[in-house]
Amino acid sequence: MRVRLKQLLLVVLLAAAAAAAKTQPMSKPNCITKCGNVTIPFPFGLTKLCSLNTSFLITCNHNIPFLKTFHQDVRMLNISLDGQLDVSLPVATSCFNNKTDELKNDFWSYKFYTPFHLPSKQNKLTVLGANTAGVVEAVDSTFEYATCLCVSVYSSMMDEPPHDESCSGRFCCETPIRQRLSEFDIYSLHISINNMNKTFQSYPCGYAFLVKEGAYNFSMANLRNFHSSSTFPAVMDWAVGNTCLDAKNNASSYACKSNHGECDNAKEGPGYHCKCSRGFRGNAYLHDGCVDVDECAEGLHDCLKGRSTCSNSPTGSYSCSCPKGYEGDGKNNGTGCLRKSNSKIIIAFSVSGSILALVGGTLYVYCALKKRKLNKLKEHFFELNGGLLLQQQIGRYGGSSEMTKIFTVEELKEATSNFNEDMVLGEGGQGTVYKGILPDNRIVAIKMSKISNPNQIEHFINEVILLCQINHRNVVKLLGCCLETEVPLLVYEFVPNGTVYDHLYDQSQFLRLTWKRRLQIATQTAGALAYLHSATNAPIVHRDVKTSNILLDHNFTAKVSDFGASRIIPVDRTELTTLVLGTLGYLDPEYFHSSQLTEKSDVYSFGVVLAELLTGKKALSFERPDAHRNLAVHFHSSMNEGQLLNIVDSRIIDEANVEQLMDVANIASHCLRLKGEERPTMREVAIELEGINIVEKHQWEKVNLSSEETENLLKAIPSSSFSIDGVNRRSIPSGSDISNRISLSLTSGR
């Protein structure tokens, strides 16, 4: 029963408050307060006596209020005493007559009286149509100038209309008004472009209008069914007088008449507004327009519910009183209501608790700020190291590329003894490689990339994207990455036996590269490059094939590494124009001169690698005579002159099968041809070498020649033809299944 009585009392109080709000004066006595469903507050009025002056005179025509302007009356939708009006503005139209090839334009001119103008931040110029321009032209006392321009475009040669139907330039554009407007013209124009007749036939009309921000959402259906008679809501500012200071100095013209009102200068343009003081509401332009708000009756107080009593004050405030035997301000956010006998103890506990809470809160804020700073720093490094670019590239190539593991910097510091110099495996142009031991005792190679400018970030991200897509036994495997450090880190499988370059030229290396091992390295490297060119989703060009980028694992299996300079060639293209990158001595001359990167660029570099494996000589050496400095040129001339014997590595000349040696030299010669179109593909090269290597393994054909026969054969000029059939003819027995096995090895990856 008590609950029902309380609910009934609350309903009565709310009804009383609502009734009081309704009786608040908004207009002068005996003045009409509404036109249709729009309330007309003073200083506005329907007659001169009911308005502040003629500028605020409203015309009520068929229950529709209109504001008088210099050119035409504007329909009013709402009047706010905060200094704004909602008005309805028409549409400027331009239509093309396909039969007569005539263009009809209509425009609207506005000139508002002094207290009124369109604000610059709440309205937008919106343009609909195909190849349509909308212009708002502000009018000065001496000239006109365009203050706002927006163009919506569409051509029949473009794609179909957008599905998201966003107002982003196609069929629809919008732009904010840059300055407040009091006198201006708005009109729509068709833009004629070559071959636009078809477009004008489909969309003959264009429209331009001013609209309140957020009041219009574009859709193609709306464009097709658009009516030139449509109107749209816009925001208009109004104010009275000049400034508060000027108005107060002239009491007779001061518009803020209420004793509980305040003056507030307009935020944009001249004039001021009158508003009720805190604790009052109503119309501050009238003597008795601001009435006290009963916070107690309307529930707008913070007195302790059920503990203190709320008492309203006619001065615009209220107070909370505690019951007998208690003291305090009776408010939720104040001291509340405390028993008088225990108040001092409770206050002491409250103060102590507040101090402890302050100290605890300070520590919490400090820790939170420190953690936030650390997270911000990690986010900064993530962006700096190309994290956003990495996300974009993963999305671009299908979103299926996932890193095996995202390492923290603490894990990698522990694995490398805080990146100790003793753990460095090597350094190159793209970064430093450390040896690391993970908690599960796996040995890994950790590459700390050198990124000194934004261009190198792309190389790093490129290497991550490529390695994530590659799954081949002869390509070094990427295990994970770390982007939360100052420089990015990549974690690879550890390949223990160094590079082919080391074993060819570093005498301290224990491994001797026999002819059999060199042939195996060449075959495996060719298979990996053929896989990159033909077995991935899109062809991948390594762009830096060289012996120092071919690693050897514990079984002396070759693994291609360092994809920092690699590029993906789109499936619909055969070449890519890029900045020339690579290593001198291995660089494709055709690519160097044209900047046109193709798969044949890798073929040329691989030809240099084959020449190195055959001769044991560096690709480029300034210690050799000028004519022999470039190995590719020297190798070509030796082959053409029948002097191959003079440049073959003496360490393999006695153990190599002579016919195999000649076959490999012939392959290298074809790879090193100056014109890319005359070079074989990596798949053809890989099949040739695989056939030679299989014959070597199974000893299906043995050639034992005397030293004189060997010399004569090596001096022979190589054939100018290159064909996969050559392998079958020279090396593979008829009826064997080697061809199928070769094809499988090039496409299966692992």
State residue 580 phi and psi, 5-degree precision.
-65, 120
The C-alpha R_g of the chain, in whole angstroms, comes to 43
DSSP state letter for 422? G
Q: How far apart are CA 663 and CA 726, in angstroms?
A: 9
Tokens 């790879």, located at residue: 671
From the CB of residue 741, how many other CB atoms can be counted at a distance below 10 Å? 11
Note whether 450 and 534 are within 8 A (CB).
no
Q: How far apart are CA 343 and CA 89, in angstroms?
A: 65
The helix/strand/coil state of 255 is coil
Q: How far apart are CA 619 and CA 612, in angstroms?
A: 7
Tokens 């193609």, located at residue: 220
Note whether 532 and 539 are within 8 A (CB).
yes
Annotated catalytic residue, options 294, 544, 588, 663: 544
Note whether 323 and 310 are within 8 A (CB).
no
Task: Tell me, yes or no, if 544 is annotated catalytic.
Answer: yes
From the CB of residue 42, how many other CB atoms can be counted at a distance below 10 Å? 22
Picking from 275, 267, 272, 237, the residue whose alpha carbon sits closest to that of residue 86 is 237
Picking from 573, 529, 521, the residue whose alpha carbon sits closest to that of residue 552 is 521
Amino acid residing at 93: T
200-230 in b/e form (b: 16+ CB < 10 A) is: beebbbbbbbbbbeeebebeeeebeebeeee
Retrieve residue 293's tokens.
């708000």
State residue 702 phi and psi, 5-degree precision.
-120, 135
Picking from 649, 580, 665, 653, the residue whose alpha carbon sits closest to that of residue 615 is 649
Picking from 295, 304, 255, 253, the residue whose alpha carbon sits closest to that of residue 275 is 255
Q: How far apart are CA 522 and CA 686, in angstroms?
A: 9
DSSP β-bridge partners for residue 321: 309
Picking from 714, 745, 717, 719, the residue whose alpha carbon sits closest to that of residue 730 is 719
Q: How far apart are CA 95 and CA 443, in angstroms?
A: 74
CA dihedral 614, 620, 622, 624 (to 10 degrees): 20
Q: How far apart are CA 269 and CA 238, in angstroms?
A: 9
Q: How far apart are the first and last CA of the chain?
A: 82
Retrieve residue 326's tokens.
């208690």
Q: How far apart are CA 273 and CA 382, in angstroms?
A: 51
DSSP β-bridge partners for residue 493: 444
DSSP annotation string for 332-366: TTS---EETTTHHHHHHHHHHHHHHHHHHHHHHHH
**Total residues belonging to the chain:** 750
Q: How far apart are CA 388 and CA 554, in angstroms?
A: 37
Element (H, E) at 2: helix 2-22
The helix/strand/coil state of 183 is strand
Amino acid residing at 114: T
Q: How far apart are CA 199 and CA 131, in angstroms?
A: 9
- Helix pair 707-714, 658-671: axis angle to 10 deg: 10
- Helix pair 599-615, 682-698: axis angle to 10 deg: 30
Picking from 330, 357, 355, 328, the residue whose alpha carbon sits closest to that of residue 340 is 328
Catalytic sites, residue numbers:
544
